[in-house]
Amino acid sequence: MNQLPTLDASAARAAAQSHFRTLRLGTPFQPRIDALARTNDWYNWAGYRAPHSLWDEELEYFAIRSQAALFDISPMTKYRIAGPDAEAFLNRVTLRDVTKLKSGRVHYTAWCDDDGFVLDDGTLFRLSPTRFRLCSQERHLPWLLDSATGFDVTVEEETEAVAGLALQGPTSFAVLRDAGFAGVERLRVFDLAEFPHDHGTITISRTGFTGDLGYELFVPADKALSLWDRLILAGELRGIRAIGYTALNRARLEAGLIVANADFTTSQHAIRADRLRMPDEIGLGFMVDLQKGHFNGRRAIQGARAKRRLRHVLVGLEIEGNIPAEHAIVYYRKSQEVGLVSAAMWSPMAKRNIAIASLARPFGDTVVDDLWVEIYAMRELQYQKLMKRAKVVQRPFIKLDRRTANPPADF
């Protein structure tokens, strides 16, 4: 039995055993969030205990639009990608041209498998010429490592090491300025910069998932609580509020942004082959840069475009009335089933009934008239069935000048 050598036991590995006792981890901000959680309304975000709401999901939404909302994004998957070939590597993996992404800038991008189906979307932060941070919903370490063969680059997962906060809303700039982050007024949309904090540095970018004026802050996990306290203190008179996902999800829908595995199924999770989607089928075709040279999925995407084999299209819908059409079936001429609504709400900002839907082409693409949604509204144990007209509209559903204004307004 002992003909094989004993492996080296790792103390760190043994110390990590106890995770089975806590199935949902807390983030580095958890002590502060727990203290504010009046509703105790939690959900599982990638193995973390995250709040659906903290005290009132309606008011939490209005904190985003009228004040400053603090949302813990620590569970978001984060990869640190560095090395002389980091740019070339990311150019090969992702759809957009990374050579055009300057240091100190962020772009929204996506990446595909070899068949051109979308693995995920996310944000790519260029921290320096050779250092990047890739943030996403799902996990991709094997894909990134396998794709790195032949590149002088390191890929490390840093989800637990780096905590993140989104500070979103009209007063968010004023909160950061009052908190003493000197120079934050110089950040334009999609800019990022490092700022001193608690004997260290943090990264602040003018980005977000709300379509509003807002920032995202990345901080080493051990400095997370001091950052939270610094913001809350500075924001006291600016109406700063911690919020949960329900409020954020409303804001992102108004902004017309999609969520992986809510508005489309990522290719590594799609069990049914017809659920796979190419970038053009989920509204991300604009990212595909065929001029930049080879990238994962390029040939397949090019082929599908040439052969017109793109079967779906993701659209924004404006639906008559005010009853949200969540997961409603979309019909052509009230009879032919042509798609499904993946997210819907009555928008307090747009004062419209809005939705994101996936339709089978040509519907939503060249045929956009005579589209209807069938809403099953459960009211006191009865479905009120409504057939409402839907109009294909541009996303975002709302456009706020304050999001892009320079310098940012001092509310």
Binding site for another protein (CB under 8 A): 1, 3-4, 6-10, 13-14, 16-21, 23-24, 44, 46-47, 115, 138-142, 145, 157, 268-271, 273
Three-class SS of residue 329?
A: strand
Q: Which residues neighbour 37 within 8 Å (Cβ) at sequence distance 6 or greater? A: 51, 54, 55
Q: Cis omega (within 30 of 0) on the bond before 279?
A: no
Q: How far is the CB of 263 from another protein (least distance, A)?
A: 19
Give CA separation, 159 vs 17, 29, 338, in Å: 19, 14, 39
Give buried/exposed letters for 271-288 (b at 16+ CB in 10 A, else e).
Answer: eeeeebbbbbbbbbbebb
What burial class does residue 22 get, using C-beta atoms within 10 Å of its C-beta: 0-12 exposed, 13-18 middle, 19+ buried?
Answer: exposed
- Of residues 271 and 306, the one with the C-beta less far from another protein: 271
- Of residues 145 and 189, the one with the C-beta less far from another protein: 145
Sign of CA pseudo-dihedral 21, 27, 31, 34: negative
- Of residues 113 and 185, the one with the C-beta less far from another protein: 113
Q: How far is the CB of 44 from another protein (least distance, A)?
A: 7
Give CA separation, 404 vs 102, 191, 214, in Å: 19, 11, 10
Alpha-helical (H) ranges within 67-171 are: 86-93, 141-147
Q: How far is the CB of 260 from another protein (least distance, A)?
A: 13
Q: Is 216 annotated as a binding residue?
A: yes
Q: How far is the CB of 261 from another protein (least distance, A)?
A: 11
Count CB neighbours of 155 within 10 A. 22
- Of residues 273 and 306, the one with the C-beta less far from another protein: 273
- Of residues 16 and 378, the one with the C-beta less far from another protein: 16
- Of residues 20 and 366, the one with the C-beta less far from another protein: 20
Q: How far is the CB of 161 from another protein (least distance, A)?
A: 12
Q: How far is the CB of 360 from another protein (least distance, A)?
A: 18
Return binding residues for substrate. Answer: 216
Return binding residues. Answer: 216
